Chains A and B, each alone.
Chain A
Amino acid sequence: MTTTPDQIKHDLINHDVINHDLLRPVGQASARFFLVVAMLGLVVLAGFSAWGYQLYSGIGVAGIRRPVFWGFYITNFVFWIGISHAGTLISAILRLANAGWRRPVTRCAEVITVFALCIGAMFPVIHLGRPWVAFWLVPYPNERGLWPNYRSPLVWDFFAINTYLIGSITFLILPIIPDFALCRDKFSGWRKTFYGLLALGWRGTQRQWHRLETAMHIMAIVIIPVAVSVHTIVSWDFAMTPVPMWHSTIFAPYFVAGAIFSGIAALIVAMVFLRRFLHLEEYLPSVCFENLGKLLLLMSLLWVYFVFAERLTIWYGNQPAEVAVLWLTQKGPYRYLFWIMVACNFGIPFPLLAIKKLRTITGTCIASITVVVGMWLERYLIIVPSLSRKFLPYAWGTYRPTWVEITITAATFAGMALLYVMFAKLVPIISIWELKVGMREASESMPSVVAVSKARPTVSERSEHETVGFKNSHRVGKP
């Protein structure tokens, strides 16, 4: 059954229902949950063992070789940093645009950002020849009088990613605080103390609400340039070097667009799964997918435009070194991957998203999955072919990943899912208070954010009727 915003308003007029439905997943843990965790855990463990083996034997157990010194690891790095643009950026934009349908979406998105960043940031370390001295990237005074080389894009990466990570964590935590408070009120036992700590003494006073609002507003504005800068700098890792088809001015916007593209896709996939497994059909209505789908469509078109622009200019410019790489991907051994990528990023998603009939939840979901795959391939096809065809033909080479790289890659996807599942267990994955506010707004049809504070229930009545709601609903998972 499809639901429209109006229906939501009517169905969810009762806070109890909201509380009940959204706290249920937090309250109880089914056998299925543990099975999933175990499965994902195994894969992650395999990944860590593979990394251990690599540390022990030397980076050579990976498939990288001369001249292709970067392979799966850096591909994953770029890919995951890209995914991380799902949340923060999108939710920030939507917040500022104050799109009503964003309310159930934002948190799912921001969570993706944080975890994707953590995973992505691991890869520069994993791919190092000597990870045990990775700390030399940190500027700290030492008797050698040596500092990091600030001219190196890798050092820029280091700072950019850390900034972004801190930023998006704050951006994630801030709006959770009231919900932590709610959990604190709802649960007893260890959970109460646990959420009590996380709630940072939230009482829901006017001042607190006001502070939260302003903080959120500032963060939303600040985080956007940060997010953009991050993937810009990642793209410069490549664009700054005189390598055929890397040394390109188009890379920064190209990468940012790609990042948002894959980010939205990842978000949609995540939401579909949440909706399905946590029975949040009412809370994640098709309108969200509808809108995100449109966004995805836009990015898909943008992506195709970038790819076309990039390749056309290289073909037309006809510089031997560049064209060699171009043909390697268009006609050479990489052609299959290339056309699969195009299919995944455009061929399949475009009809699914462009045709209204197909832009259903399943439709967008399928499209998103292909996009995620396609974007991973895109990163791979940016990195490997260029390196295997540099200027001196005598030094041309190839690249084959080994089981180590593949295991670690698989582990990161499992790791992402694992973290996500765990998070959903600990925190209401949909922002409860925002939903309530949104609902109240809808009912009073007062769209402006500023109005929210007026519309907000006072502490007394909140806690009052919530306790009521708690009493007369025994369906809430008992602590």
Chain B
Amino acid sequence: MRSRIRGLSLIFVGLAAVSSFFLWPTSSANSVKRRGIDSQDVFTPAHPTILDSLREFIGWRETPVQPLAFTHRKHIENQIACTACHKGVNQGPSAGIPDINVCMRCHTFFAKDRPEIKKLAGIFDSGQDITWQRVYGFSPSAHVKFNHAPHIHASVDCSVCHGDVKSMTVAVRAVNLNMGFCLSCHRAKQVSTDCVTCHF
């Protein structure tokens, strides 16, 4: 007797759960009213999936895989300044990842025989750009507006935040750029640690 009732109530609960799931009204609220446009056509800061949001919450990032085995060491050995490719670094917020034009400016002449350069040329001829994967950078929900230029002008060495790139082939995330890291340096140099210095 009792067990049957237990069973019944369980079924009740199950039904309720299922129904309450399907009966949710969808809220058209979170975007400008759109007619019959499917969501790939909408840009939103929301995570595509719950998994992504969890990943970001625990600060887990996949290590980037670059399309070409670019080596920083070689280029630096050949006395090429960082600013030659990362043009923006001393002018504005972001250093910038060079596009293929920058590569070809030299590699139409130099090291054409190397396999990787052949690959590069191949991509160039197909009229495409290289899909470099970003190594550093802050998660959008950190709302950090980091600006490279002032740091360069304050003669902060690139290696402080990016590790010893000279010795790197493909760049790897050598420094964990969390807020503590920024703060320690700002405190040491006695520059502003006001929140809106970086967050706006």
Contacts and interface: CB of A to CB of B under 8 A. Distances in A.
Partners in one complex: yes
A132 interface: yes
B183 A57 contact: no
B9 A57 contact: no
Interface in A12-62: 29, 31, 34-35, 37-38, 41-42, 45-46, 49-50, 53, 57-58, 60-61
B140 interface: no
Contacts of A49: 17, 20-21
A130 B30 CA distance: 16
B27 interface: yes
B5 A41 contact: no
Contacts of B21: 49
Contact of B16 (A31, A46, A58, A145): A46
A144 B180 contact: yes
B9 A41 contact: yes
B30 A31 contact: no
A37 B2 CA distance: 13
Contacts, number: 53
B5 A143 contact: no
Contacts of A58: 27, 29-30
B9 A144 contact: no
A60 B30 contact: yes
B196 to A, nearest CB: 15
Contacts of B180: 143-145
Judged by DSSP, the binding face of A is helix
B27 A31 contact: no
Contacts of A38: 5, 8-9, 12-13
A144 to B, nearest CB: 5
Interface in A96-151: 132, 143-145
Contact of A34 (B9, B27, B178): B9
B27 A60 contact: yes
Interface string B1-18: 110011011001100110
A356 B188 CA distance: 76
Interface size class of B (residues with CB under 8 A): 20 to 34
A147 to B, nearest CB: 14
Contact of B6 (A34, A45, A50, A60): A34
Q: Which of B1, B12, B20, B179 has the most CB of A within 10 A?
A: B20
A144 B183 contact: yes
A34 B3 CA distance: 10
Interface in A123-182: 132, 143-145
Contacts of B57: 132
B109 interface: no
Given A45-B17, A46-B16, A57 B27 contact: yes
Contacts of B9: 34-35, 37-38, 41
Nearest to A35: B5
B51 to A, nearest CB: 14
Contact of B13 (A29, A41, A53, A132): A41
Contacts of A60: 27, 29-30
Interface in B175-190: 178-180, 183
Nearest to A43: B16
A143 B179 contact: yes
B24 interface: yes
A29 B2 contact: yes
Nearest to B57: A132
Contacts of A35: 5, 9
Nearest to B50: A56
B30 A144 contact: no
A34 B2 contact: yes
Contact of B20 (A46, A57, A132, A144): A46
Nearest to A403: B25
Contacts of B13: 38, 41-42, 45
A475 to B, nearest CB: 19
A308 to B, nearest CB: 42
A464 to B, nearest CB: 35
Contacts of A29: 2
Q: Which of B1, B5, B21, B183 has the most CB of A within 10 A?
A: B5
Contacts of B2: 29, 31, 34
Nearest to B29: A60
B6 A145 contact: no
Given A42-B12, A60-B30, A143 B178 contact: yes
A57 B17 contact: no
Interface string B35-65: 0000000000000000000000100000000
B16 A45 contact: yes
Contacts of A145: 180, 183
Contacts of A31: 1-2, 5
A96 to B, nearest CB: 43
A34 B5 contact: yes
Given A45-B13, A53-B24, A58-B30, A144 B5 contact: no
B183 A61 contact: no
Given A31-B1, A38-B12, A41-B9, A144 B27 contact: no
Q: Which of A41, A46, A60, A143 has the most CB of B within 10 A?
A: A143
Nearest to B4: A31
A57 B16 contact: no
Contacts of B12: 38, 42
A41 B13 CA distance: 8
Nearest to A132: B57
A209 B13 CA distance: 45
Interface in A256-294: none
Given A42-B13, A45-B17, A60-B29, 11 more contacts: A34-B9, A38-B8, A38-B12, A41-B9, A42-B12, A45-B13, A46-B16, A49-B20, A53-B24, A57-B29, A58-B30
7 contacts: A34-B6, A38-B12, A45-B16, A45-B17, A45-B20, A58-B30, A61-B27
Interface of A: 29, 31, 34-35, 37-38, 41-42, 45-46, 49-50, 53, 57-58, 60-61, 132, 143-145
Closest 9 CB pairs of A and B: A143-B180, A38-B9, A49-B20, A144-B179, A34-B5, A42-B16, A57-B27, A53-B24, A31-B5
